[in-house]
Amino acid sequence: MKNVVIMTFFTLFISLNLIAQEANPKQKDKKVVEKETKLEDPVCHMKVKKGGKITTKHKEVEYSFCSEPCKESFTKNPDKYIKK
Interval 51-79: pLDDT, tens:
889 999 999 999 999 999 999 999 999 99
The torsion angles phi and psi of 81, rounded to 5 degrees, stand at -105, -10
Which residues make beta-bridge pairs with 47? 40
Q: What is the pLDDT of residue 8?
A: 76
Which pTM was predicted? 0.56
